[in-house]
Amino acid sequence: IAIGRPRFPKWRRQRFAGNPRSGQADAALVAAATGFPANIDWGRRPVAQLVTNLGGMKAVGGNDLQLLYEYDDTVESLCRDIGDARDHVHLLVYIFADDEVGTQVVEALGRAAGRGVSCRVMIDALGSRPWRSRVIAAMQARGIDAREVLPVRPLRWRPARADLRNHRKLTIIDGQIGYIGSQNIVAANFRPGIRNQELVARATGPIVAQLQSVFLSDWYLETEQQLAGDALFPAARQGGDVPLQLPSGPDYPVSGSERLTVELIYGARERVVITTPYFIPDEGLIEAIQSAVLRGVDVRLIVSLVQDQLLVGLAQRSFYAEMLRAGVRLFLYEDRLLHAKHITVDDDLATVGSSNVDIRSFTLNAEANLVIYAPGEVRRIRAVEERYFAGSRELTPEDWAGRPFMRKIAENLARLISPLL
């Protein structure tokens, strides 16, 4: 009764089965894949096939990608694009606060709605709990169609599980610009004494149809409204030459984030860098990491020394000794809470998105991750990783073995409940 299965209620699964994606979305995705085939190296095609089977969307070429790693720059870019919107703005986010950042975005959306732009926003009911009533009221007062995602109302008909959340961070503007990454609509220092460090990708090109498809499917699951119109899926235009793919879809029965992460590590030839704020791996991921090191792959894990969740932090640290014994190089980012979530593999493959490397993201949350098959873009992410390394302290087995005995006890006790965190 307290924990249950990692599945949505029966009514929601039936709703998804009845309409996971509209015919218009399917036609747009086929047209994008046909008109802009992805030029993917032969050795990475198994990854692309796995991603296709996980989310039902093929890799597409002809995209442009901009990486945003400065918090304020991301907010300014988003508000600027909203300011240029002509038909619609779709925004899905886990945390939407009514602080200065949230107010800035709400005002940009309100001005767009005042111009006749259709603005639709979904915020996770639990992630945005402290602010959701005020935020939704403020948006609705400005003509924005704002909805709670997965409201937790146990005494009402069709309740939602409190532990199954929509953790995606997506924005689609006029079907032509898309944002995906780790950053919520909240101030970087919304937790006292902690400032977040994020990574967001701004994309243009055929990949935006895939982001739109995920948003529209989630919108249908929450509202039972089937949105349609030519402006939702305008004819795809080439933005650049970057092959991209989205493995994420709503309520799919197979855990896309976990299988993709494991496959990426098994496919590594020289180097893997995993950046995540929360690291609670399962046995399959641990074995993949150990096997990579045994193959001679340089495996590096970047996690945050700054922690915002006590139990999660303790459980996470209980895996450090195991990683160090396996030969993983472990870096503790010291300055901020490193909330960015991305993986680079060798010099030609990367993912950026909302999924942590933990059991919750693998089995309970709805996530959105972008797979990047472009050496040039991977080099840019590697440059971001170098900044992390410069701001980190590398943990050694000797240092870790010398921590206090009572801390070891607390970490191992937290590990016992790690699948529930």
Average pLDDT over residues 348-353: 96
Half-sphere exposure of 374 (CA within 13 A, CB side): 23
Q: Three-state SS for 311?
A: helix
Average pLDDT over residues 313-334: 95
Q: Residue 372, by phi and psi: left (phi above 0), alpha (psi -120 to 50) or beta? A: beta
pLDDT at 33 over 80: yes
CB within 8 A of 107, min separation 6: which ones?
none
* Beta-sheet strands, E only, within 19-80: 60-68
The pLDDT of residue 308 is: 86
Cα separation, 246 vs 259, whole angstroms: 14
pLDDT per residue over 381-419, tens digit each? Answer: 999 999 999 999 999 999 999 999 999 999 999 988 877
The pLDDT of residue 249 is: 53
Identify the band that residue 239 occupies on the pLDDT scale cut at 50, 70 and 90: confident
On the question of a common fold for 10-41+58-242 and 256-420, the answer reads: yes
pTM: 0.94
Task: Please give the CATH number for the structural domain made up of 10-41+58-242.
Answer: 3.30.870.10
R_g of the chain, CA atoms, integer Å: 21
Cα separation, 204 vs 238, whole angstroms: 8
Calculate ∠ Cα 341-296-354, nearest 5°: 10
pLDDT per residue over 290-305, tens digit each? Answer: 999 999 999 999 999 9
Residue spans per domain, the chain: 10-41+58-242, 256-420
Closest CA to 93 of 200, 241, 206: 200
- Give the residue with greater pLDDT, 185 vs 421: 185
Identify the band that residue 254 occupies on the pLDDT scale cut at 50, 70 and 90: very low
CATH architecture of 256-420: 2-Layer Sandwich (3.30)
Q: Which of 130-134, 263-267, 359-363 has the lowest mean pLDDT?
A: 359-363
pLDDT at 194 over 70: yes
Helices 256-266, 283-294: crossing angle, 10 deg rounding: 10
pLDDT per residue over 177-186, tens digit each? Answer: 999 999 999 9
Residue-wise over 247-286: b if at least 16 C-beta within 10 A, else e?
bbbbbeeebbbbbbbbbbbbbbeeebbbbbbbbbbbeebe
The pLDDT of residue 4 is: 58
pLDDT per residue over 206-216, tens digit each? Answer: 999 999 999 99
pLDDT at 151 over 90: no
Q: Among all residues, which ones are annotated catalytic?
A: 167, 169, 174, 339, 341, 346
pLDDT per residue over 84-122, tens digit each? Answer: 999 999 999 999 999 999 999 999 999 999 999 999 999
Residue-wise over 120-145: b if at least 16 C-beta within 10 A, else e?
bbbbbbbbbeebbeebbebbeebebb
Closest CA to 182 of 68, 102, 23: 68
The pLDDT of residue 18 is: 61
The pLDDT of residue 419 is: 73
Cα separation, 180 vs 292, whole angstroms: 28
The pLDDT of residue 62 is: 96
**Distance from the first to the final alpha carbon of the chain:** 17
Other Cβ atoms within 10 Å of 390 Cβ, number: 8
The token pair at 275 is 């950046």
Contact (Cβ atoms closer than 8 angstroms) between residue 110 and residue 143: yes
pLDDT per residue over 279-293, tens digit each? Answer: 999 999 999 999 999
Identify the band that residue 250 occupies on the pLDDT scale cut at 50, 70 and 90: very low
The pLDDT of residue 50 is: 94
Identify the band that residue 2 occupies on the pLDDT scale cut at 50, 70 and 90: low
pLDDT at 218 over 50: yes
The pLDDT of residue 378 is: 97
